[in-house]
Amino acid sequence: MERMEAEKHIVELQTLINQYGYDYYVLDKPSVPDAEYDRLIRELIELEEQFPDLVTPDSPTQRVGGAMLDMFEKVEHRSPMLSLGNAFNDEDLRDFDRKVRQAAGDEYSYVCELKIDGLAVSLRYEDGLFVKGATRGDGTIGEDITANLRTIKSIPLRIKEPFTMEVRGEAFMPKRSFEKLNKIKEEREEEPFANPRNAAAGSLRQLDPKIAASRSLDIFLYAIADLGETGVTSHSEGLDLLDRLGFKTNQERRKCADIEEVIAYIRGWVERRPDLPYDIDGIVVKVDSLRQQEQLGTTAKSPRWAIAYKFPAEEVVTVLKDIELNVGRTGAVTPTAVLEPVRVAGTTVQRATLHNEDLIREKDIKIGDHVVVKKAGDIIPEIVNVLPEMRTGEEKDFNMPEHCPECGSDLVRLEGEVALRCINPKCPAQIREGLIHFVSRNAMNIEGLGEKVITQLFAQELIKDVADLYKLTYEQLISMERMGEKSVSNLLGAIEGSKNNSLEKLLFGLGIRHVGAKAAKTLAQVFGSMDALMEASFEELTAINEIGGKMADSITAYFDMDEAQELIQELKAAGVNMEYNGPKPVSPAESDSFFAGKTVVLTGKLEELSRNEAKEKIEALGGNVSGSVSKKTDLVIAGEDAGSKLTKAEELGIEVWNEERMLEELNK
């Protein structure tokens, strides 16, 4: 394609893609199938790669997080970002209304908007192009977070008219994104975010914009800071203009004729707020007329023409009756508060996590204390603080034990961690979850041994560790509830068949901390047998590219334990395979396959092969299958219902295949 033709086609593609993105991310009304949107994005990426000088700042391909930042530059707001005064009850609202009437007379109206619980930001547009975004900061000086804000897909990179203007909004993390992020953090054994607001603020203040891009943030715009050339005369007109320019505003707003309508609107949202897909912490009430806003003026800190009604605090007082200790699958010992049952945010709360001993000390929590409880993010019960003035002298200090409360083994605090851990693989409290993990699909893959059956076996003391699975008899199983002859026969066959699994399946199933499925396969391929791995030194382990110091420490600590060595011997005696019997790893130099040396990510549901089967075939041809998409990824293979990984691949301009294309290449 010639340059002039390419330039014209790039503009056409950008216009189409921006419109389709607006329909999807702002209006929430997709106007074309995802496949068509994806096709246009790929076509634009290819053209921009051919003609890099034609890439414009407002191109849809420029939403991907760029290079790491060294620091955030300071930004002075052209007009201050004032905070709002607060109202906590109807009396406060009527007092605000009285002051408005005194200054503005009887002819006025209000606009009510949901107060989004996020991070206030300011966006600067010049001739319609987004050029700078900043945090509120102290209201006068904020921080330049333009790179992170560009990753929010509901922020237009170019608006529909060439205005030079500054607009204000609230960036936030939807509840669904928050739950997904915290799930990932829990899987990585990282401290979860307390609420979506903290998560949004933390995401936008990352020096690496790619982290912000991965967090699925959103925004609602709520004001135009400089109305000069717009001709707008009221706040409601300003919001309508923002809609027309392509911004995302909150459509739950309402114009109210008087303060009684405002109060009725607020009461409705007190009940309905849990149903929203994002958090709100109140209602903002503003005088609609801009002339009257100017007439009312501002104080040094806040406008006199607006107020924020804050919802009643979801905090209650109860008694901490006891502190129990829970031992998880990885051995982390977590203290949990046992509370006098109390109603918080619509549910009865009887327990709250205390995370670790350091938090208990920091908050000076004692057994028997009266404590203030809330739900972090209206979801997770937590203790806010104690009420020492209510102590009677009967309260008791709490100390973490030196030994595991379930098995008596010494508890250890690994370097760099706050939690105490039990690292005894035969600890009863860890066994149930460990057994469920051991029989799971990516581990020993024993069909018929689901969570319910494992729980039943464990409760009846038919199994105490994973080796006991291989000692189960027909007589034991047939006596169990809902176990017929065919089920028992199939289950015993599945258990017997799992003995032939390759070593990596067993290694992953053992649940050695920090050793995931990929690391287990690498270890199995390198050492070849369980015996060789058990004798490996720290230096031999860290000599492997994919094995870091933390994982090597975990592996050597595990196999140094007498209990672990005994467990391996029991599994050997049961006939469980201890050798690697998978395909010999092929180096890229030895393979002439397309996949040789490529980093591939599989996402979505495949029809012909399972994800694991596809992974094994690609790796057998010298490819490397990764679990996450990054700029180092060469290829993404997307099945049905592919989600965020596919989205990220498209944003990064990574080649995407469907399953049919993958099978063609595998069958060559």
**By three-state DSSP, how is residue 127 classified?**
coil
The DSSP-derived string for 491-533 is HHHHHHHHTTS-HHHHHHHTT-TT--HHHHHHHHHHH-BHHHH
Residues 526 and 519: beta-carbon distance below 8 Å: no
> What's the CA gap between 309 and 286, in Å, rounded?
11
> What's the CA gap between 645 and 135, in Å, rounded?
29
Residues 410 and 402: beta-carbon distance below 8 Å: yes
> What's the CA gap between 299 and 306, in Å, rounded?
11
Partners of 317 in beta bridges: 372
**By three-state DSSP, how is residue 617 classified?**
helix
Number of H helices, E strands in the chain: 24, 22
Residues 254 and 112: beta-carbon distance below 8 Å: yes
DSSP annotation of 629 reads -
N residues, the chain? 668
Q: Which of 611, 626, 628, 627 is nearest to 662 (CA)?
A: 611
> What's the CA gap between 431 and 433, in Å, rounded?
6
> What's the CA gap between 260 and 174, in Å, rounded?
31
> What's the CA gap between 26 and 37, in Å, rounded?
16
> What's the CA gap between 301 and 326, in Å, rounded?
48
Both structure tokens of 368: 């028997």
Task: Kindly name the residue from 99, 115, 310, 375 that is annotated as catalytic.
Answer: 115
> What's the CA gap between 524 and 398, in Å, rounded?
44
The region that residue 425 occupies, defined by phi over 0 for left and psi between -120 and 50 for alpha, beta otherwise, is alpha
> What's the CA gap between 315 and 309, in Å, rounded?
17
Residues 152 and 215: beta-carbon distance below 8 Å: no
> What's the CA gap between 526 and 529, in Å, rounded?
9
Cα 529–Cα 533–Cα 536 angle in degrees, nearest 5: 145
Identify the residue whose tokens are 């003995």.
499
Residue 336 amino acid letter: T
The DSSP-derived string for 317-338 is EEEEEEEEEEE-TT-EEEEEEE
DSSP annotation of 585 reads P
Both structure tokens of 132: 């700078």
Q: Compute φ and ψ for 233, nearest 5 degrees.
A: -120, -5
> What's the CA gap between 418 and 335, in Å, rounded?
12
Confirm whether 248 is a catalytic residue: no
Catalytic residues: 115
